[in-house]
Amino acid sequence: MARIKPQALLIQSKMQKRPPRIGVVTILFCSLIVLLILSSLIATSRHWSQRSRDQIGTGLSNYEVDEIADSKKYDLPGYVVLNTSKGYITIELFKDGSPETVDKFLDLCQKGHFKGMPFHHVIKNYVILGGHSQELGGIEDWTSKTKLHRRLPISLKHEAFMVGTTKIKEDGKAFQLFITTAPIPDLNEKLTVFGRVIKGEDVVQEIEEVDTDRHYRPTSPEGIINVTLRQEI
């Protein structure tokens, strides 16, 4: 029997220990299986995540959102007390009828916008106008139209002592405050009504009686000293 040389034995031993080669096809097949598993996991995760969001959103839209909105609305102050140069005027706010205007009015109250605000026009048997800007225009036109519309039907919103602001869009800092002193049939054409005077009608009438010039501007300073917000009265 022929003897195997040591060098040949070493080579033969190394060949026996070498692991078998993995084919390219096998590698590609395994990679494809891994990708499919990962894709399936990602799709499943997205599905359950979206379903959870939909359930939460549906629950809030059907019940909780309305409840939160209502609670915020009714947590807002429902009354405003104007301390004027003639006395106190208490206003009930129409939070349901004019929510956006009431929100803006309350925001301006909290920022002190109405503190020191003058009543720059007083038109007897019509309205008292307050604001920091006197450029309303058409005051005489307002009064002439009112005389023509006195026979129109009167609704609750057109009664005296309604509180509103002009429908003309102004910048965020401007806010004209109107208090009617008589029924005004065409009120909807001019104002957004957001409240009514429930106490202090005599103060409104006292302001209405002040002397004015021919442009309906008071000859002596009249205005709002400060404002108090109240949840109840």
**The CATH number of domain 79-230, selected from 1.10.150.20, 3.40.50.800, 2.40.100.10, 2.40.30.10:** 2.40.100.10
The runs of H, that is alpha helices, within 60-98 are: 65-75
Q: Which of 28-37, 54-63, 134-143 has the lowest mean pLDDT?
A: 54-63
Most confident of 10-19, 36-45, 103-112: 103-112
Of 117, 129, 95, which is closest to residue 204 (Cα–Cα)?
129
What integer is the mean pLDDT of 204-218? 93
Q: Return d(Cα 40, Cα 42) in angstroms, integer.
A: 6
89-98, 178-187, 220-229: least confident range: 178-187
Spatial distance between the Cα atoms of 40 and 44, rounded to a whole number of angstroms: 6
**Per-domain residue ranges of the chain:** 22-75, 79-230
Q: Using alpha carbons, list the distances in angstroms from residue 141 to 110, 113, 126, 147, 190.
A: 34, 28, 13, 10, 12
Residue 85 predicted with pLDDT over 50: yes
H/E segment holding residue 35: helix 24-59
Residue 133 clears pLDDT 90, i.e. is over it: no
Tokens of 202: 């005599």
DSSP states of 164-192: EEESS---TT---EEEESS--TTGGGTEE
